Each structure stands twice: as C-alpha cells, then as structure tokens.
Amino acid sequence: MSLIVQKFGGSSVADAERVFNVAGIVTDTYKKGNDVVVVVSAQGDTTDDLIEKAKEINPDASKREMDMLLTSGEQISISLLAMAIEKLGYPVVSLLGWQAGFNTSSAYGSARIKRVIPDRIKKELDKRNIVIVAGFQGINRYGDMTTLGRGGSDTSAVAIASVMHADLCQIYTDVEGVYTADPRKVPGARKLSEISYDEMLELATLGAQVLNNRSVEMAKKYNIELEVLSSLTKAPGTIVKEAAKVEKMLISGVAKDTNVARISIIGVPDRPGLAFKIFSKLSAKDINVDIILQSIGRHGTKDISFTVTQDKMKEAIQVLEDYKSTIDAENIVCDDKVAKVSIVGAGMETHAGIAAKMFEAMFDAQINIQMIATSEIKISVLIDVSDADRAVTAIHNKFFPSEQD
Ligand code: ADP
Ligand code: ASP
Ligand code: MG
C-alpha cells in the first residue's frame, strides 16, 4: 500500500461535473488500496471573485480580514468534493488547514509553512478515510487563519507529501504538464516529459504559473518527485525531479512575468557608495529588487534603474523621493507598463550563443530591450508589456522551430 498525495487546482473543481471527475480520480486511486490525501484549491475564479468583493467593501481591508475571507474559498471546495466522494460510496473527511496541522508564520497573505503536524490526517487514514485538505491556508501563533500567497495550494500538497513521506505527489491541473511555454498562449509549446527542480524553480519564479515557486523549492529541499498532469485527460504528465534526463534542447522553456515595474534614479552623482546606500534603504523596507542596470558615469553623474514587483512600486518611489535630496539625485521616474520575458535552461552553461539567439529573435520581431539580466541557467529581458506575448512567441519559435520548418 502506498501513500499518495493528489492536488487539484481551481479549474479542476470549477463546477459539479468537474468535482465528480476529481472524485472519480481520487476514488480510483483509493480503490487500488492506497492511502490518499487530497489537497484542493478554491473553485474556478473564487479567490479572484472574493478579492473583488472585498474591494467593494473596503479596498484597504486589513490582511487579517482578507485571509479570513480568502480561506473560505477552499472551505467550499473541500466540503463539496467530500460530498461527491460520499455520494460515490467511499469514506471521506474534509479538513481545513488548521485541522490538518498547518502551522504558519504570522504574515497574513504570504505566510510561510513552519511545521505540519499530521496527527489528525494520520488518524483519519488509519480509519481508511480519504482525507481532503484545504490548500493555501494554515493557522498562525495567534490562532488566526493565514494564506500562503497566490497559487499556494501547490505548496500545501508538497508539504504534506514531505512530512508524511508520501510515495507519490501528483499535481493535477488544466494542462497536461509543464510545457516549453504557456500552452494556452503559444500554440507550438511542447510538453516536457521531465524537468529538473532547478529549471522548474526558475520557470516558476519567472512567471510560469503551472507550479508555485515555493512548492518547487520545498520539493527540491525534501527531494519529493512531483508529477504535473491533467485532471481532464489521461495523458502522461511531466516529472519534476533532481536530475532530469537531458532532452536535446538548449533551453527548457520561455516564461513571461507582467508583475514588474521599472524605477530609475536619474542623475546620481558618480561617487563610490551610492548604489550601496540606495539599495540598503530599499532593503530596510523589505523591498526586493530584481534586475539592476547602472549607466556609465558621464559629466559626473550616472543613472541607476531597477525593477520591483508592482505592489512595491509606490513604496519604493516613496523611499527614493525621501532620500533624493540627501544623495543629490536629479529625478525619479517609473514605468509599470513593462514585462520580463525569460528563457531557462541548464544547457546554457555549456553552450555559447544562446543569448545572441534570444536577442536575434527580439530583433527579428523589432522588439526593443530595456534591460538584461543573466544567471547560469537563465536570461531575462525587460521590454514593453505590449510586446510581451509577441516576444514569447518569437523567442519560442527561434529555439523550438515547428517540425515542418
Ligand atoms: P491550477 O488552478 O491547477 O493551480 P494554474 O492556473 O495555477 O492551475 O496553472 C496552470 C496554468 O499555467 C495553465 O492553464 C497555463 O495556462 C499556465 N502556464 C504558464 N506557463 C506554463 C508552462 N510553461 N507549462 C504549463 N502551463 C503553463
Ligand atoms: N485559491 C488560491 C489562489 O487562487 C490558491 C491556489 O489556487 O493554489 O491563489
Ligand atoms: Mg495554481
């Protein structure tokens, strides 16, 4: 007998028919004699709808109350799925995050899982119950419900798989696996049979929504193999693991992130120590900076540009405005109509010319590059958001020409 963790995303449980489809997958697994723990997200667009509802009442609602509201989405889906499984005649119990032992940090809206104490889950499995757990949520030390950040149910599933030493962790979603680009946007995107944790972590962090990046981080840390597959077809999915077999590809995927804003400090005196001072001020406010570009000094001044996530833009500008006169900078400008497009691939380390190929694709599509950042396994460019989808397709077609080309 094996212990299998199965996670189903919002679209997999969007309506009654889909809930019964999931109940079928779960009970088929149970029938084979396995212990089954199921993690579910809120149905369809429920989380987005709840956020909209909150805005109607109070756009500045506290994060605590937002979490109180958002956790209700998963409460609906766990109970409905359990009812469907009851109807099929199987023993089942649904549990909220706190009942399942999810202890988190106190950061409402982006809590981190500190510990999962799976006593209740174990008790229920011992009674041969199918256990359905609400994803995306836990409880903090004040006894309040918290959420783990958008897409957090993936992390809930991996956390259970790791503390319970599950034999298999399956992430069911609405596409058949991890592709070389978003298959809904890029028709020629190819499904990967395997991908390494490191590449998946980069893709997830750079905007490939299919897995939450924290879930991949945790899977890597505890060496949990993940299988990403569709709840709607029976096609084989993608395995995420330490050493993926190398398919003959230079890059494993292209990702797009539109949650980016660019800020520039113009006319900073060209003196040592100013970059240090500016970025220390930002980090003191917990503002994470991503791509950084500094111009060569001319006439005694230089410009420094960097990117942040859009929710941090206002705060970052405020920090710099307050500091501008102290460092004698001329001006601060910002732009949130930008996007980051990235390629990821372990092959980059050993192959020259990958950056040139990416930039050639952008040139062919006449797309201007504002900033560039590279690491061992990724290259990112910052461009105008209106060019982003075209850029993804152009870059994808360059690295993965269609078979007839
Ligand atoms: P779930 O509700 O199951 O958690 P998500 O919407 O969070 O599903 O993630 C699945 C979506 O991720 C897909 O519908 C697809 O549009 C998008 N996606 C983006 N990049 C990729 C990629 N490289 N491979 C697969 N899907 C991707
Ligand atoms: N329901 C949450 C969200 O929409 C969690 C998840 O889907 O994983 O972000
Ligand atoms: Mg998701």
Question: Which tens digits make up the pLDDT trace of 143-158?
Answer: 999 999 999 999 999 9
Superfamily in which the 261-335 domain is placed by CATH? ACT domain (3.30.70.260)
Q: 3-174 with 261-335: one CATH topology?
A: no
- The closest alpha carbon to 224, from 153, 163, 133, 134, belongs to 163
pLDDT at 246: 65
Q: 371: which residues sit within 8 A by CB, 6+ positions away? A: 262, 291, 293, 305, 307, 381, 382
Multiple choice CATH, 3-174, 3.40.50.720, 3.90.228.20, 3.50.50.60, 3.40.1160.10: 3.40.1160.10
Query: Can you say which residues are annotated as belonging to the binding site?
Result: 7-10, 47, 74, 173-174, 179, 184
- The closest alpha carbon to 269, from 327, 317, 332, belongs to 327
Average pLDDT over residues 32-49: 98
Q: Hey, which of 43, 153, 156 would you mutate to test ligand 2's pocket, going by the most ligand atoms within 8 Å of its Cβ?
A: 153
255 within 8 A of 208, measured Cβ to Cβ: yes
CA 130/CA 90 separation, integer angstroms:
8
Q: Hey, which of 153, 170, 175, 378 would you mutate to test ligand 1's pocket, going by the most ligand atoms within 8 Å of its Cβ?
A: 175
Could you state, in order of their start, the residue ranges of all structural domains in the chain?
3-174, 261-335
In the predicted model, is pLDDT for residue 297 greater than 90?
no
**Ligand 1 site: residues with CB under 6 angstroms?**
9-12, 41, 151, 173-175, 178-179, 181-184, 208-210, 253
pTM: predicted TM-score of the whole model, two decimal places: 0.93
Average pLDDT over residues 273-281: 90
Cα-to-centroid distance, 182 and ligand 3 (Å): 13
Shortest-distance Cα residue to atom 27 of ligand 1: 182
- The closest alpha carbon to 96, from 128, 63, 144, 53, belongs to 144
pLDDT at 317: 95
In the predicted model, is pLDDT for residue 396 greater than 90?
yes
pLDDT at 247: 63
Instruction: State whether the beta carbon of 397 lies less than 6 angstroms from ligand 2.
Output: no
